[in-house]
Amino acid sequence: MSIFLNENTKVIVQGMTGSEGTKHTRRMLASGTKIVGGVTPGKGGQVVDIDGHQLPVFNTVAEAMSATGANASVVFVPPKFAKAAVIDAIDAAMPLVVVITEGIPVHDSASFYAYSLTKGTTRIVGPNCPGLISPGKSNIGIIPADITGAGPIGLVSKSGTLTYQMMYELRDIGFSTAVGIGGDPVIGTTHIDCLRAFQDDPDTKAIVMIGEIGGDAEERAAAFIAEYVTKPVVGYVAGFTAPEGKTMGHAGAIVSGSSGTAQGKKDALEAAGVKVGQTPSETARLLRAILGR
Same domain for 156 and 120: no
User: Is 19 known to sit in a ligand binding site?
Assistant: yes
168 annotated to bind ligand: no
pLDDT at 254: 52
Does residue 7 have a known ligand-binding role?
no
pLDDT of residue 89: 98
Q: Is 126 annotated as a binding residue?
A: no
- Report the C-alpha gap between 28 and 136 in whole angstroms: 11
C-alpha 113 chain-centroid distance: 15
- Residue 141 located in a structural domain: no
Residue 173 sits in a domain whose CATH number is 3.40.50.261
Same domain, 268 and 175: yes
Contacts of 247 (CB under 8 A, 6+ apart): 253, 254
**Residue 100 assigned to a binding site:** yes
Q: Decide if 94 is inside a domain.
A: yes
Residues 154 and 273 in one domain: yes
Q: Quick one: 45 and 173 in the same domain?
A: no
> β-strands 47-50, 53-58: how paired?
antiparallel
- 57: β partners: 38
Q: Do 118 and 228 lie in a common domain?
A: no
Please identify which of the residues 24, 53, 107, 250 carries the catalytic annotation. 250
Q: Consecutive 10-residue runs of the chain (293 residues): their mean pLDDT?
A: 96 97 98 98 98 98 98 98 98 98 97 98 98 98 96 96 97 98 95 98 97 87 98 88 57 56 90 96 97 92
User: Are residue 43 and residue 172 in the same domain, yes or no?
Assistant: no
101 lies in the same domain as 211: no
Tell which of 68, 93, 125 closes a domain.
125
**3-class SS letters over 122-133:** CEEECCCCCEEE
Task: Examine residue 1 and state whether it is found in any structural domain, yes or no.
Answer: no
8 Å CB contact between 234 and 290: yes
Q: Does residue 119 share a domain with residue 155? A: no
Q: Please, which residues bridge with residue 157 across strands?
A: 180, 210
Among candidate residues 125, 159, 194, the one where a domain is terminated:
125
Q: By C-alpha distance, which of 87, 94, 81, 77 is closest to 111?
A: 87
Confirm whether residue 17 is marked as ligand binding: yes
Domains identified in the chain, total number: 2
Q: Which of 128, 159, 131, 129 is nearest to 145 (CA)?
A: 131
- Was 244 annotated as part of a binding site? no
Shared domain check, 204 and 235 = yes
Distance of alpha carbon 84 from the chain centroid: 20
pTM of the prediction? 0.94
The per-residue pLDDT for 156 is: 98
Regarding whether 91 and 58 lie in a shared domain, the answer is yes
Instruction: State the residue range of the domain holding 212.
Output: 147-291
Q: According to the model, what pLDDT value does residue 244 have? A: 60
- Domain membership flag for residue 269: yes
In 3D, which of 155, 194, 165, 180 has the Cα closest to residue 280?
165
CATH of residue 51's domain is 3.40.50.720
Same domain assignment for residues 102 and 186: no
H or E element: which one contains 263? Answer: helix 262-271
Please tell me whether residues 52 and 108 are part of one structural domain. yes
Is 250 designated active site? yes
